[in-house]
Amino acid sequence: MGDFKALSESVIKGDVKAAVAETQNALDTGSSAQDILNEGLIATMNEVGERFSKGLIFVPQMLRSAKTMQECTKLLKPFFKEGDVTSKGKVLLGTVKGDLHDIGKNLVAMMMEGAGFTITDLGVGVSPEKFVQKVQELKPDIVGMSALLSTTMPAMPQTIEALEKAGLRDKVKVMIGGAPVTEKYAQKIKADSYASDAGSAVSKAKKLLGVS
Ligand code: B1M
């Protein structure tokens, strides 16, 4: 993790104050927000996940690291703005039913907002019924679903089915993502798009709506 060792260690420890200071320090010494995010914060969360898998840390530590990362991300937000742009489209985002992971979804929201999309974030544990209700109410161009657990991925096709049943499927594009989700899975469940990270979520969303 090279240059971001101190940042990484503070995120692993869940030391918000130190991690925020390290993030600011990295910005002040010329690191790009993109590198801090990818090589500093996201890489560290992968390390946190590995430690959890090995039984070296437990849920409370994982949660502290997550909170620490979220605080650091706040400092990076202004750097992902593409400038004053009129809305490129409306995006409804949520982490699917049964799933509480929201860091990735929040990054997708941040990057999309920065790129000029209007975001409505429904938060975590969003049921298919809630997605349907909000699509009816807000008429978004894209519904974005995030899942981090293999056990909650089935809520994605369930949501697509619920949109079909409500007669809304052809009125909205569906994008999915999250660590266990793949392009192949997106094709299987007939989502319109899959993105592996927040940056490509922006380019895929632009492509879906034919905007630049
Ligand atoms: Co959880 N957890 N967790 N966890 N957790 C994982 C996902 C896990 C892989 C850890 C592990 O075992 N190695 C594992 C899942 C195994 C599996 O199903 N395959 C796991 C588990 C098992 C669990 C619990 C069941 C643990 C337990 O209670 N025994 C539990 C489940 C709770 C629930 O959801 N019901 C649980 C709980 C938690 C915490 C609450 C403690 C915390 C989440 C806090 C929070 O999010 N506010 C947490 C964390 C932090 C993780 C890890 C360590 C980190 C996740 C993360 O934030 N990554 C994670 C290990 C890992 O992923 N390596 C793990 C950083 C983030 C930027 O990446 O979310 O992948 P990611 O998002 C990326 C892309 O995927 C993509 O863009 C993002 C940015 O580039 N993307 C999209 C995401 N959504 C997208 C949507 C799009 C497009 C792209 O379009 C709409």
Nearest CA, atom 80, ligand 1: 197
Choose which residue among 68, 148, 175 to substitute to test ligand 1 binding: the one with the highest number of ligand atoms within 8 A of its C-beta: 148
Nearest CA-CA partner of 198 in 131, 115, 87? 115
Nearest CA, atom 40, ligand 1: 63
Nearest CA, atom 83, ligand 1: 178
Q: CA 77 to CA 33: how far, in whole Å?
A: 9
SS3 content of the chain, % helix, strand, coil (to 5): 60, 10, 30
Measure 100 CA to ligand 1 centroid, in angstroms.
Answer: 8
- Are 10 and 40 in contact by the 8 Å Cβ rule? The answer is no
Measure 75 CA to ligand 1 centroid, in angstroms.
Answer: 21
Copy the structure tokens of residue 197. Answer: 């990270």
- Are 66 and 45 in contact by the 8 Å Cβ rule? The answer is yes
The pLDDT assigned to 84 comes to 64
Check if 180 has its Cβ closer than 6 Å to any atom of ligand 1.
Answer: yes
Nearest CA, atom 21, ligand 1: 149
The pLDDT assigned to 2 comes to 46
Measure 29 CA to ligand 1 centroid, in angstroms.
Answer: 30
- Location of structure tokens 């997550």: 66
Helix axes 5-13, 59-76, angle to 10 degrees: 130
Averaged over successive runs of 10 residues, the pLDDT of the chain (212 residues) comes to 85 97 96 94 94 94 94 94 80 98 95 93 98 98 98 98 98 98 98 96 96 88
pLDDT digits (tens, 9 = 90+) for 62-93: 999 999 999 999 999 999 887 766 789 999 99
- Location of structure tokens 């409505």: 120
Nearest CA, atom 28, ligand 1: 59
The pLDDT assigned to 192 comes to 98
pTM: 0.94
pLDDT digits (tens, 9 = 90+) for 27-56: 999 999 999 999 999 999 999 999 999 999
Q: CA 67 to CA 73: how far, in whole Å?
A: 10
Check if 66 has its Cβ closer than 6 Å to any atom of ligand 1.
Answer: yes
Q: Which amino acid is at 105?
A: K
Query: What's phi and psi for 173, nearest 5 deg?
Result: -90, 145
